[in-house]
A and B are shown apart, each in its own frame.
Chain A
Amino acid sequence: MKWDTCDPSVQYLLHLGDDALVLGHRLSEWCGHGPILEEDIALSNLALDLVGVARQYYQLAAKRIGGGCTEDHLAYWRSDREFLNHVLVEQPNGDFADTMARQFFFDAFHVLQLEALQHSTDTELAAIARKALKEATYHAQHSADWVVRLGDGTEESRSRMTAALARNFPFVEELFTPAEVDRVAFERGWGPDVASLKATWLELVSEVVAKATLELPSIAHKLLRGKSGIHSESLGFLLAEMQSLPRAYPDATW
C-alpha cells in the first residue's frame, strides 16, 4: 500500500480500528442465520456499532496520513501482516456459545480500555472513545447476559458454553500483554497500560462466570502477536473475502 502508516499515532488508531472492524465483520456473518429473529437483529446492531466505530478510527488515521488516504484504503488495501487486531477477534464464529464467549471476553476488556481512552491526551481519539463507550457498555451487558443464560440454562447449553469458554480463554492473555503499539501509546498518554486492566477484567469476568454457574478455565495461554501483525490463519481468509472486490477492480471507485 502506498501510504505510510508507520506513524505511532496512526498505528494505534489502526490497532483500535482493526479490532472493531474484524469483530464487527465476524458478527455480520450471523445476519440471516441467528438462533431467533430478535437475536439476529441484536447481533446486527452489535456489528453496525463496531463497524461504525472502526470507520471513525480509520477516518482519523487517514486524515493524519494525508495525501488522499481514505478509510477504505486502510481497510481494503493492507495485508493481514499489517492488521493489528487481537487474535481473539478474528476467531471464526463457531456456534452461538463460541460467539458469545468471544464477545464476552472482548467486551469486558473493551469497556475498560474505552474508559481509559476517554482521558487520552489525543483529544480526537478521546472523543471517539467517549461515544463508543456507551455502545460497548451495552454490548458487554448483552454478552454477559448470554453467558449466564447459556451457562445456567439446559445441560446442553451448559456443556457448549463450558467448551466455548475453554476454546476462547487461551486468546485472552494477548489483551493484557503490551506490544509495541500499545506500549508506545501508553508512553505518550494516548491509551492505558493494558497489563493494568487485567485484575479488574478478571474480577468482572469471574463474577459473570460464577453467576453462570461455571468456572473460568485453567488453560495455558497461547503465544500470540496479533498486535504486531502476526495472526492466526483465520485472518487471511477473512480478509481475502472482505477485500476481494476492490482488489479485483483496482481502478474502480466503490
Chain B
Amino acid sequence: MSTPDQWPLWEVFVRSKNGLSHKHSGSLHAPDAEMALKNARDVYTRRSEGTSIWVVPSSAIVASAPDEKEVLFAPSDDKVYRHPTFYEIPDEVGHM
C-alpha cells in the first residue's frame, strides 16, 4: 500500500522538435499530471526546446503480450507489471 508521501509512476513520451511521433523516454514519479508534465520537461528534455510531451500514469498502460514464437512467456495477463507492488490491496485484507 502506498504511504502518503509516495508519488505514483508516470510514463513519459517525447516528440522532438521536427520529430514525427512521440517516443517513450522513460518514467518518473509525480503527484499529479501537471507536475508530471513539468518534471518530464526538466528530466527528459533538458537539452532541447520545441518538444511535445505526453505523460500517462503507468497503471493506465495496457501492453500486448510478447509474441509466442519469439520469446518465452508464462500464461498471459494484460498487466504490464505482474508484481504485488502494482496491485491495490484494501487495508482490511492486511499484509499480503
A and B assemble together: yes
Partner of B30, one of A38, A41, A45: A38
Residues of B within 8 A of A205 (CB): none
Residues of B within 8 A of A41 (CB): 39, 42-43, 46
Residues of B within 8 A of A36 (CB): 7, 29
A241 to chain B minimum Cβ distance, whole angstroms, is 26
Q: Is B38 an interface residue (CB 8 A)?
A: yes
Inter-chain contact A42/B7, CB cutoff 8 Å:
no
Residues of A within 8 A of B42 (CB): 38, 41-42, 45
Q: Is B80 an interface residue (CB 8 A)?
A: no
B42 to chain A minimum Cβ distance, whole angstroms, is 5
Inter-chain contact B7/A145, CB cutoff 8 Å:
no
Contact with A along B34-72 (1 / 0, CB 8 A): 110011001100100000000000000000000000000
Q: Which residue of A lies closest to B7 (CB)?
A: A36
Docked Cα-Cα span, A145 to B31, in Å, equals 12
Inter-chain contact A38/B46, CB cutoff 8 Å:
no
Partner of A142, one of B28, B30, B31, B38: B38
B45 to chain A minimum Cβ distance, whole angstroms, is 11
Taking CB atoms and an 8 Å cut-off, the chain A residues in 133-187 that contact chain B are 141-142, 145, 149
**Given known contacts A45-B42, A45-B46, is B28 in contact with A38 (CB within 8 Å)?**
yes
Q: Which residue of B lies closest to A142 (CB)?
A: B38
Taking CB atoms and an 8 Å cut-off, the chain A residues in 26-78 that contact chain B are 36-39, 41-42, 45
Residues of A within 8 A of B46 (CB): 41, 45
7 closest cross-chain pairs (CB), A and B: A38-B39, A42-B42, A41-B42, A45-B42, A41-B43, A38-B28, A38-B29
